[in-house]
C-alpha cells in the first residue's frame, strides 16, 4: 500500500480552519502530490467542534482520517486537541494552540474546562508541540491570524521550501491581509 500522510486540522467553528486546509491543499498539489481535503460546512461551523482532514501521497482514496491514523494533528484550541487526540498515530505529532475557548456546557456551568491538558496529553506518550498562537497572531497584527501561525509551526515538520509555502498563502489569502498573514506564518515558523 502506498504511503499517505495524514493531517487533521481541528478547532472551533469560526477560527479559520478552512483557510488553513485550503492553503495546505494548494501547497501539496503544487508539490506534485495526489491530495484529498475533507471539510465540514453548515451547522457545525457555528461555534461547534470542527475537523478538516488533509491527506496526501502518491494516490489517495479515502477523504477522511480514522482513529490512530493522523501523522499530524494541528489544533486551534486546547480542548479540541484533547478531544481528537485519539486520532493521532502512536508516533504522530500534535501541534496545539494554548488558547482556551469555553464550550457551552462549561459556559452554562454544567461542566468544568479540564485542567493540565498538555501534561495529560504528554503522559499518554504523545509528542506535543504547544504554542501560544493567539499572542503571536496578535503580535503579527490580528487575533484572526492564528491559522497562519499554526501553519507556520506545521511547516517546520516538512521538507518543503518557505518559498512554496508563501506562494500557497498568496493564492489563498486576500491581498489586503497578505503581509499580516505572512508575518504570522513566520512567527509560527520561527
Q: By the criterion CB under 8 A, which residues form the site for another protein?
A: 1, 12-14, 25-26, 29, 34-49, 60-64, 66-70, 79-80, 82-83, 85-90, 101-114, 117, 120-121, 124-126, 134, 143
- Smallest gap, in angstroms, from Cβ of residue 59 to another protein? 9
User: Measured in whole angstroms, how far is the alpha carbon of residue 65 from the centre of its chain?
Assistant: 14
User: What is the number of other CB atoms lying within 10 angstroms of the CB of residue 134?
Assistant: 18
- Smallest gap, in angstroms, from Cβ of residue 124 to another protein? 5
- The residue (of 35 and 150) whose beta carbon lies closer to another protein is 35
- The residue (of 46 and 163) whose beta carbon lies closer to another protein is 46
Cα–Cα separations (whole angstroms), residue 168 to 9, 30, 43, 86, 171 = 17, 8, 28, 30, 5
Give the C-alpha separation, 174 to 167, whole Å.
13
- Smallest gap, in angstroms, from Cβ of residue 155 to another protein? 18
- Smallest gap, in angstroms, from Cβ of residue 68 to another protein? 4
Amino acid at each position: 500500500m502506498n504511503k499517505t500522510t495524514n493531517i487533521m486540522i481541528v478547532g472551533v467553528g469560526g477560527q479559520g480552519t478552512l483557510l488553513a486546509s485550503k492553503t495546505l491543499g494548494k501547497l501539496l498539489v503544487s508539490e506534485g502530490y495526489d491530495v484529498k481535503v475533507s471539510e465540514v460546512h453548515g451547522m457545525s461551523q457555528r461555534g461547534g467542534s470542527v475537523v478538516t482532514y488533509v491527506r496526501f501521497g502518491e494516490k489517495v482514496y479515502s477523504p477522511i482520517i480514522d482513529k490512530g491514523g493522523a501523522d499530524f494533528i494541528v489544533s486551534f484550541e486546547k480542548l479540541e486537541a484533547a478531544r481528537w487526540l485519539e486520532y493521532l498515530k502512536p508516533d504522530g505529532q500534535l501541534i496545539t494552540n494554548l488558547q482556551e475557548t469555553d464550550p457551552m456546557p462549561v459556559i452554562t456551568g454544567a461542566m468544568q474546562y479540564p485542567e493540565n491538558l498538555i501534561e495529560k496529553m504528554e503522559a499518554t506518550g504523545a509528542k506535543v508541540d504547544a504554542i501560544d498562537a493567539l499572542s503571536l497572531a496578535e503580535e503579527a497584527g490580528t487575533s484572526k491570524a492564528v491559522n497562519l501561525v499554526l501553519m507556520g509551526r506545521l511547516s517546520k515538520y516538512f521538507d518543503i521550501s518557505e518559498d512554496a509555502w508563501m506562494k500557497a498563502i498568496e493564492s489563498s489569502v486576500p491581498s489586503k491581509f497578505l503581509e499580516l498573514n505572512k508575518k504570522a506564518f513566520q512567527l509560527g515558523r520561527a
